[in-house]
Amino acid sequence: MNTILTGVLFFSGLALTVTVILHIAAQKTASGQKNTGRPAGTNKIRLDDDFPDYRPRVQNKTQKRKKSPSRKRFSLSGSLHFNSLVSEIPLLEAGLPEYVYIPLKLPHINALPRLTVKKGDKVRAGSLLAQNKKYPEADIYASVSGKITGIENISDAFGAEIPAVIIKVEKDDFEPSIDLSPDIIREIPYSEKEIISKIRHSGIFSLAGAESMENVFTGGQKISRLIINGIDAEPFPGIRENLLCKKAEQIIIGAKILNKAFGIQNALIAINRKRPDILKLVSGLTRRYVGVNTRSCPAYYPSGQKNLLITAITGREISAGRRPENYGFMVLNAEVALAVYEAVLKNKPLCEHFITINKNGKSTSFCTRLGTPVDFLLKKLSLSPENGKIILGNVLTGREVLNSKAPLTGQDSKILYLVPSEQISGPCIRCGKCLEACPLHLQPYAIASALQSHDQDRLKQLHAADCIECGACAFVCPARIPLLSLCRQSKTEFKNN
Amino acid sequence: MPGAPYIFSPLTTRRIMLQVIIALLPLVAVALAAFGLRALVLVTTAVAGCVTFEYLGARFLLHRPAAASDLSAVVTGLLLALWLPAGFPLWMVLLGCFFAVIVVKTAFGGIGCNLFNPALAALVFLFLSFPGETSACLQPHWFDFFSDNAQKCTPVLEKLKYLSWENLNTSPESYNLAGLPDFGQMLKGTTCGNLGNITFLAVLPGLIWLLAQRIISWQIPFYYLMTFFILVLVHWLINGTLQNDIFIHFFSGSLWLGAVFMATDYTTSPMSARGKIIFASGCGILTGLIRLYGIYPDGVPFAILLMNAFVPLLDKICTPRIYGTPRR
Ligand code: SF4
Ligand code: SF4
C-alpha cells in the first residue's frame, strides 16, 4: 500500500511541476511576442492597474425616470460608470505664449473666409483676421494682440498641414469695444435679430459642440428645447462641471440669451447626478431666471454625447443620420453658453477657451487663448513629451499628439499626459462585455469580425456606421481587441463605398 | 492606427480565468476533503494534462504559443476533474484532456472559437466510451486522506432511474428502503457522487464570487435552475413518486455545478441577455426532460452540450435593439 501511495504522490508532484513550468514558459513567450492573437494584434498602451482616480463598473440597472414621457424610454443599461473622485479642480489663467497660430479653416465649417490682414500688420485681440461676408460663422478673430509674422501652412497636432496666421504676442490688451470688467450683466437689452447677428459675428463656431447652432442658423429649424450640457461623465473630470462651479451665473444668462434668440420657452441645464453640490448651486441661481431650469442626469460614459443626453432627458431617440435639430432639440455645451454670454453682453468674440490637463488622474484647467501651442501649456505644468505620451481628447477616444508645437483649437478641451505600458491583445473570448458596454447596443465584436472579412452587407446590417466612437467597448474588452480602431475603420470603409 | 483607449478595465482574459479558478477552489477543497488522495491525483492529472495539451496545441497547431498563457486550460482541467468519480483511471483522464483541449478547442481555432464546452464534450466522450468507469462512484470518506477502503456506491440519480417500484411510495420509509438520502445528507455531502457533486453547497461560494466579480451574469444560473425547478415541480405535483422527487432532483447530481460553471462558459453561451435567458431555459428544460424521461440519470452534460449547438443561432436572432432604430 505504502509503495503505491508514494508512487501516486510522486506522480502528482511531477504533474504539478510540469504545470508550473509550462505556464512560466507560455508566459515568457507571451511577453516576448507582441502581436499575437486575432484580430491582427495591435499593442495597447495602458496606465497601471492601481490608477488612483477611477473605478469603472458596468451598470446593469435600467435608469429610473422622473417625469415619465408617454414613450418607452431607451434603456440606458450597460453603460460605463466612472466613479471618479470629483474634487475641485483649479481654473487658472494660462497667460500669453510667445506666438499663437490661428488656423484659417475650421474642419467642420465648409465656407472659407477671406483674409483681411497681411503679414506685418498689427492686430488686437478680438479683431477680425479673416471674414466671410455671406457666412459670418466662418469668421476668424485674433486671440491676442501683436504683430502678424506669417501666414503659412503649419502642421497640426496630428501631422496634417493647415493654413494658419502666426501672431507674435506683444501686448496684453483687447479691442476697445470689449467690456473687460468682471461685473455680471443681467439685462439683455437686445432684440432677437441683434442677438443672432452678434452670435453669428463672434467666432464661437470654432468651439466644439457649437455646430448645432450653426445648423439652426443655416437650416432654420424650429427649436423647442434647449439643453445646456454641463456633464463631463468621463473617466477624468473635464471643464464643464468646473465651469458650472465657477461661472454658473454667466452660463445661465447665456442660456437665457439663447432662449430669447430662438424663441424657446425653457432651457435645461443638465447636471451630473453625482454632483449634488453643483445642482444646489445652479438651481439656487436659476430660481432668479425665468425659463432656465436644471435637470440632474445620470452620469455614465458617454452621457456627454448629445444624442444620448437628449434620450436621457426626454426619452426621444435620435435616428442615425439625423440631427437633434431635426427633432427640435438643441444641445450646447456649457462653454458655448458662456461664450454666447460674452459675445452678446460683453461684445467679446471668442478669444479664449478652456483646456483641462490631466496627469495621472490629477486635473488642472486653464483658460487659454485660441491658438496657444500645446507645449506652452505642458511647460506650465512642467510636463515633457519625452517621457510620456500626450493625448489630445478623452482618455477613451483621444489621439496621440505627434507635433507638440501645434496650436490648440476650439475643438480641443482636454490634454492627457500618460506614461505608456504594454497591452497584448488576444483572441475574442465571446464574453459579451463589449455588447453590454455599447451605449447604442451595437455588437462591436461582430463589427470587428465583419470588418476583417470585408463584409459590407454584414456591416450595414450591424449598423456599424451608427457607432459614435465612444471607446466603451474597447475599454471593457478583456481580450484587449482594439475595438475602437476597428469600429472607426469600418466607418471609413463605409464612407469609401 | 495605434490609439485609444489608453486605459482599460482591469479585467483581462487571464484575470477572468483566475477568478473562475478562485471560484472553483471551494469545490476542489471539498473534493480533497471528501476523497483525499484520489481527488488530489485526479485533479492534478487533469490540470497538468490540459495545460500540457494546451501548450502543445498552441505551439504546434495554432503557432501562437502565447495563447496557452491565459489559464483557460487550468479551468478546463479543474472542471473535467470535478465531473469524474474518484479513482477514475488516469490514462482515461489524459485521454479526456486530449479530447477537450485538442479536439474540441484547439482544432476549432483556440479559445473563443469552440462550439462546445471542452470539459463537457470530453466528459460526454469519456462517458460514452467508458460508461462503467465514469459511473463507478465512491462513497466519500471525509477527512481520511489516505483511506484505502473506500466503498463503491451508486449515485443518487442512478438509484432513482433504476428504482424498482415494488413497495415504494413517497413515505419516509421508502426513502430509507431505496437508500435515498434526505435533505440533511445532501447538504453534508455524505451522498455518493463525483468529485464535484457530492454537495451543492460547495458551488454556492463560487456562484457568489463570480456574480460579485461580475464574471458571469445572473441570467444563466437563475433561469437554468428556475426552469428546471418549475418543470420538475409541476411533474412532481401532478404525479409525485420517488422518482421525480423535487428535492432530490434539485439538490443532487451536477445541476448546480453545470448551471454555475458550465452553462456560463463565455465562449459557448450566447452574448446578449435575451439569448442567455433562452439558452439557460433550454438547458433547464432539457435537463429536466432527460432526467424524467431519458435513459441518462444526470442530464446536465447532454442538455448543456445540446444547447451549445444553438448558440450561433441565438446570437444571430437575439440581438438587442440598436439605438435610434424603430422598435420591434
Ligand atoms: S465605440 Fe462604437 S461600438 Fe464601441 S461602444 Fe462606442 S458606440 Fe458602441
Ligand atoms: S469584449 Fe472583447 S472578448 Fe468580449 S466579446 Fe467583445 S470583443 Fe470579444
Residue with CA closest to ligand 1 atom 6: A470
Q: Give me the torsion for CA of A463, A465, A466, A468, rounded to 10°.
A: 140
pTM here? 0.84
The residue type of A188 is: I
Strand partners, A391: A400, A416
In chain A, the residue whose alpha carbon lies closest to the alpha carbon of B59 is A26
Q: How far is the CA of A435 from the centre of ligand 1 (A)?
A: 9
Residues B114/B268, Cβ–Cβ less than 8 Å: yes
Ligand nearest to the CA of B5: 1
State the cell numbers at B248. 432530490
| pLDDT 10s digits, A287-343 | 988 889 999 888 778 878 888 889 888 888 888 888 888 898 999 999 999 999 999
**Do A326 and A198 fall into the same domain?**
yes
Residues B19/A58, Cβ–Cβ less than 8 Å: no
Which domain range does residue A291 map to?
A: 192-345
- ipTM associated with this complex: 0.89
**Do A211 and A309 fall into the same domain?**
yes
CB pairs under 8 A between A and B: 203
Q: Where are the domains of chain B?
A: 13-134, 156-191+216-317
Residues in chain B: 328
Cell 442626469, located at residue: A297
Tell whether A373 is covered by a domain.
no
Give contacts of A 55-94 with B, CB under 8 A.
56-58, 72, 74
Q: How far is the CA of B195 from the centre of ligand 2 (A)?
A: 32
User: Looking at CA atoms only, how far is residue A479 from chain B in angstroms?
Assistant: 6
User: Looking at CA atoms only, how far is residue A376 from chain B in angstroms?
Assistant: 23
C-beta atoms surrounding B130 within 10 Å: 16
| pLDDT 10s digits, B226-283 | 999 999 999 999 987 877 888 888 988 899 999 999 999 999 999 999 999 999 999 9
Helices (H) and strands (E) in chain B, counts: 15, 2
The answer to whether the Cβ–Cβ distance between B7 and A44 falls below 8 Å is no
- From the CB of A442, is ligand 1 less than 6 Å away? yes
User: Distance (Å, rounded) from C-alpha A129 to C-alpha A143?
Assistant: 10
Tell whether A477 is covered by a domain.
yes
Ligand nearest to the CA of A479: 2
Tell whether A218 is covered by a domain.
yes
- From the CB of A476, is ligand 1 less than 6 Å away? no
CA angle A69, A70, A75 (to 5 degrees): 70
Q: What integer pLDDT is reported at residue B319 of this predicted model?
A: 87
**Do A333 and A441 fall into the same domain?**
no
Q: Which of A304, A328, A345 is the last residue of a domain?
A: A345
Q: What is the pLDDT along chain A (497 residues), one digit of tens a residue?
A: 444 444 545 555 555 555 555 555 554 444 433 322 222 222 222 333 323 333 334 433 333 333 333 333 344 444 576 655 556 788 888 889 999 999 888 777 777 888 888 888 899 999 889 888 888 888 899 999 999 998 989 888 888 888 899 999 998 888 888 888 888 888 888 999 999 999 998 888 888 888 888 888 888 888 889 999 988 867 777 888 889 988 999 999 999 999 999 988 889 999 988 888 889 999 999 998 888 999 988 877 887 888 888 988 888 888 888 888 889 899 999 999 999 999 999 999 999 999 998 887 778 899 999 999 998 998 888 887 777 788 888 888 888 888 888 999 888 888 888 877 678 888 999 999 999 889 888 999 999 999 988 888 999 889 998 998 888 899 899 999 999 999 999 988 877 76
Residue with CA closest to ligand 2 atom 7: A445
Tell whether B65 is within 8 A of chain A (Cβ): yes
Q: Which of A290, A319, A345 is the last residue of a domain?
A: A345
The answer to whether the Cβ–Cβ distance between A445 and B271 falls below 8 Å is yes
Q: How far apart are the first and last CA of chain B?
A: 37
Tell whether A70 is covered by a domain.
no
User: How is residue A330 annotated by DSSP?
Assistant: E
| pLDDT 10s digits, A20-51 | 555 555 544 444 333 222 222 222 223 333 23
Tell whether A40 is within 8 A of chain B (Cβ): no
Q: Which of A297, A323, A345 is the last residue of a domain?
A: A345
CATH number at residue A256: 3.40.50.11540
Tell whether A13 is covered by a domain.
no
**Do A336 and A209 fall into the same domain?**
yes
Tell whether B271 is within 8 A of chain A (Cβ): yes
Tell whether B91 is within 8 A of chain A (Cβ): no
Tell whether A76 is covered by a domain.
no
**Do A340 and A440 fall into the same domain?**
no
CA distances from B66 to A105, B13, B105 (A): 48, 13, 15
Give chain A's domain count: 2
Residue with CA closest to ligand 2 atom 6: A434
Tell whether A308 is covered by a domain.
yes
| pLDDT 10s digits, A151-174 | 989 888 888 888 899 999 998 888
